[in-house]
Amino acid sequence: MSRIVVRLEIRGRVQGVGYRWWARGEARRLQLDGWVRNRREGWVELVAAGPAAVVAGLIEACRRGPPSAEVASIERFDAHDDGLAGFEERPTV
């Protein structure tokens, strides 16, 4: 199965609602590699690597997010696979 890597820009009420913690848990449950972090501009950035169908499943889950989040939009970009292993939460930039 081929591995894809995507970068997501997730906007809406996604900071201060446990979104990063939730996304990390979803990605780990799906056994994807990558990371998630807050952006100072008020949105969440997420990079996910894995089988295309599994990454698509994470994107759909991210559209819903945790119960207290309100996702307004998700922009998807292709990303470079730099050997990501595991899924982590990164500091805000």
The catalytic site residues sit at 20, 38
Task: Give the integer Cα–Cα distance in Å for 14 and 68.
Answer: 9
User: For residues 69 and 61, is the Cβ–Cβ distance under 8 A?
Assistant: no
Task: Give the integer Cα–Cα distance in Å for 56 and 7.
Answer: 12
